[in-house]
A and B are shown apart, each in its own frame.
Chain A
Amino acid sequence: MSNEVLIKVEHVSKKFCKDLNLGLLYGLQDLATNVFGSKSQRELRKKEFWAVDDISFEVKRGECLGLLGHNGAGKSTLLKVLTGLIAPDRGRIEMHGRVNALIELTAGFNPILTGRENIYNNGAVLGLSDKEIKSKFDEIVAFSELEEFIDTPVQYYSSGMRVRLGFSVAAHTDPDVLILDEVLAVGDAGFKAKSFNKMKEIMKSAAVVFVSHSMPQVARTCDQVLFMRHGKSYYQGSNVNEGVELYFNEFKSEQGSVELDTGAEIHNISINSETVVDENDIKTVQYGEAMSIEFDIDIKDLNVKKYYVQIQIIDKDLKMAAIHFTNLHNESFIVTEKNRIKVVFPDLQLVNGEYALSYFVTETEGESNSIKENNILAIYRNYTKFKVKGLNTPTYTSFHLKADIYQNNNLINSILK
């Protein structure tokens, strides 16, 4: 059962025309050639380009392929070819079983009609029979949590409610092949989690192609990734983390910036005693070893007597991975003539990847370890970047925490050597 290949894509290519009028004209030509048949005509015409270029992959039941790539890389076009909405110009696609594409959740809705009526419409559009919809109706409504408004016209729904209803119908179609285009990012936090769980449940018994820009989600759900660049396959394989890493490398990470330096300035930053020359100077640190960050602070605001520094560690997905306040468990710094600050993390538990550091210098008011951010003196956002080497995790995460391990109350492995 698990060896069933449900999606088989062989050397698929699709071309597109950049020009509207020429595109329409080619449309007429294609109409003629399709009706009367033609064996040639596969080459690029004027102003055409390959939007999808020689893509091949296989997905078995229970597997999930993550489709990565920046906007315009050809992902959506590939999905349209996969669902049979448009025909490939080269290659061959084989799909087995019921195919369901969650691309546009509310496409079959009519705003005038009620939620109840629209469940029937959308269900029918997605290929459910009358009987199937009837038997699943209560389940669908319960999942959408819209019992109260089910007899209200859909045009009075908020966009979130509409998507909820659309998702609920689509999620109850029991597909063999599921094509997801960024639909998991719908609704509020509660529904997001709920729909994500539902998707995971469907994924167990279906072959899934998943398009997302959320790398944590890709890392959590996919067994293999296909990273597309300009229509071509740039990376393809089962090392999801490598694909994610490549995806991040594709983008210039956010430029470091000095957002605020009226109250204080930071100079001469060094990591592990190596001076960071500029923001393109990326130092490498080792997992499990000490990491020290050193810098000079020049307090310009003469009224400031005490201050503390906040250091943020940002990962490539621009999520804040960790934070440190220098005064939370210690005293604040008292302003002196020379302020060379050194922060040492003795045992770095960040995993491989690139990170950025942001620095906030803030005046301490009242208690020495209070972290009220009333008077921020300096903000240096994403100012220094560093790379961690030494621990690769198969899944996407920022930390691997060290731990003492016990079996039957016997300490097997201690981190405290």
Chain B
Amino acid sequence: MKLKTVVYTSDKRTHFFKEIKAIFTDIRSSNFLAYQIAKRDIQAQYRQSVLGILWAFVTPMINAVVWIFLSASGAVAIPTDKLPYPLFVFIGTILWSVFTESLNMPLIQTQAAKGLISKINFPKEAILVAGFYKLLFNTSIKLIIVIIALFVFKVNPGINFLLGGVMIIFIMMFGVVFGMLITPIGMLYKDIGRGIPLALSFLMYTAPVVYQEIKNPMIAKIVNINPLTPLINSARNTLTGYGFEQLPYLLGILGVTLIIGLLGWIFYRVSIPIIVERM
């Protein structure tokens, strides 16, 4: 039997295609490990909690309740054209929570695996893939809640709901890709981890999460440029039986996401030894 050979050198150049090939072999070879890590984390998470999976959607729910309350009290009047406002804001906050969870995932996963990364050499892909499995798990729970909400509001999305599922995976990918880009720097400097929630709490209002129409032209422009706008709008629309919005822009975002995703992944791989050196 031919033994597997590994060579470590001081060669610091990154070979793009070699790395991409390595990514895919590592994803394949670490699939069991990724599954095992995800299973471990999910089991551990729910074993120590009474409310269990409730935690997966309690934050977006509270967020939605706040806005429903504000709207119902008449303190803020938010017009929506297709959907009743409570449903609009509920799906919006759920989608937003999917995005933020995805964005945070790479950094949180890598930080949680710090002890492992610095001691044992294993395909680091497993950490991210495991994180993605966990995301899928949490997102499915959120989707079930969305389905319940659709029933309550008697909205029948029909076959478009499946497109909504695809859009949600798109949102997840979008979040993970940018999360991956900031992870290496976030592992070195704690400022990144602290800054993300701050940035996100502001970013939420530049996307149509809790409101639909904007009267101020300046802000409307920002919202229109924000790549999250077509993502969230299209996801909400398809989930409730309507069509895509800003389709060309959406496709453009998809292309950019894929390219940045590959580059981000290579960046991530290259950065791990440098991070391990410093922890």
Contact = CB atoms under 8 A, between A and B. Distances in A.
**Co-complex (A, B):** yes
Nearest to B271: A31
A129 to B, nearest CB: 6
B40 interface: yes
B6 A95 contact: yes
A97 B276 CA distance: 23
Nearest to B46: A112
Interface string B160-176: 00000000000000000
B4 A96 contact: yes
Nearest to B1: A97
Contacts of A37: 12-14
Nearest to B45: A112
B185 A110 contact: no
A95 B6 CA distance: 5
B121 A101 contact: yes
A24 B119 contact: no
Interface stretch (A82-90, A196-204, A343-351): A82-90
B127 to A, nearest CB: 11
Contacts of A230: none
A95 B47 CA distance: 41
B80 interface: no
A96 to B, nearest CB: 4
Contact of A35 (B7, B32, B267): B267
B115 interface: yes
A86 B119 contact: no
Interface in B29-52: 32-33, 36-37, 40-41, 43-44, 47-48
B12 A41 contact: yes
B14 A35 contact: yes
B257 to A, nearest CB: 19
A107 interface: yes
Contact of B3 (A92, A97, A112): A97
B111 to A, nearest CB: 15
A98 B36 CA distance: 20
A23 B278 contact: yes
B44 A112 contact: yes
B73 interface: no
Nearest to B119: A104
A121 B36 contact: yes
A24 B189 contact: yes
Contacts of B5: 94-96
Interface in B200-217: none
A124 interface: yes
A98 B8 contact: no
B234 to A, nearest CB: 33
A117 interface: yes
Interface string B183-211: 01100110000000000000000000000
Nearest to A84: B121
Interface in B85-142: 115-122
A176 interface: yes
Contacts of A83: 120-121
Contacts of B12: 33-34, 37-39, 41, 87
Given A34-B14, A97-B4, A117-B43, A124 B270 contact: no
Interface string A15-39: 0100000011001101101111111
B211 to A, nearest CB: 39
Interface string A124-160: 1111011000000000000000000000000000000
A81 interface: yes
A42 interface: yes
Contacts of B150: none
Nearest to B267: A35
A121 B278 contact: no
Contact of A112 (B47, B270, B274): B47
Contact of B273 (A36, A86, A112, A121): A86
Given A87-B8, A99-B6, A124-B33, A107 B119 contact: yes
Contact of B277 (A27, A84, A108, A129): A27
A127 B121 CA distance: 9
Contacts of A86: 273-274, 276-277
A47 to B, nearest CB: 14
Contacts of A104: 115, 119-120
Contacts of A23: 278
A80 B4 contact: no
A93 B8 contact: yes
Contacts of A87: 8-10, 12, 273
B116 A108 contact: yes
B155 interface: no
A88 B6 CA distance: 14
B3 A176 contact: yes
Interface in A56-94: 80-81, 83-94
A16 B277 CA distance: 8
B45 to A, nearest CB: 9
Nearest to A4: B3
Given A27-B277, A101-B121, A125-B33, A88 B8 contact: yes
A103 interface: yes
A129 B8 contact: no
Contacts of B254: none
A107 to B, nearest CB: 4
Contact of A101 (B8, B120, B189, B276): B120
Given A84-B8, A88-B8, A95-B8, 19 more contacts: A24-B188, A27-B275, A28-B185, A31-B271, A34-B274, A38-B12, A42-B10, A84-B6, A87-B8, A87-B12, A91-B10, A98-B4, A101-B119, A108-B116, A112-B43, A113-B40, A117-B40, A124-B32, A125-B120
19 contacts: A24-B189, A24-B278, A28-B188, A31-B184, A33-B12, A34-B14, A36-B14, A42-B10, A80-B276, A83-B120, A85-B117, A92-B7, A97-B3, A99-B6, A104-B119, A108-B120, A110-B44, A112-B47, A121-B36
Interface of A: 6, 16, 23-24, 27-28, 30-31, 33-39, 41-42, 80-81, 83-99, 101, 103-104, 107-108, 110, 112-113, 117, 120-121, 124-127, 129-130, 176
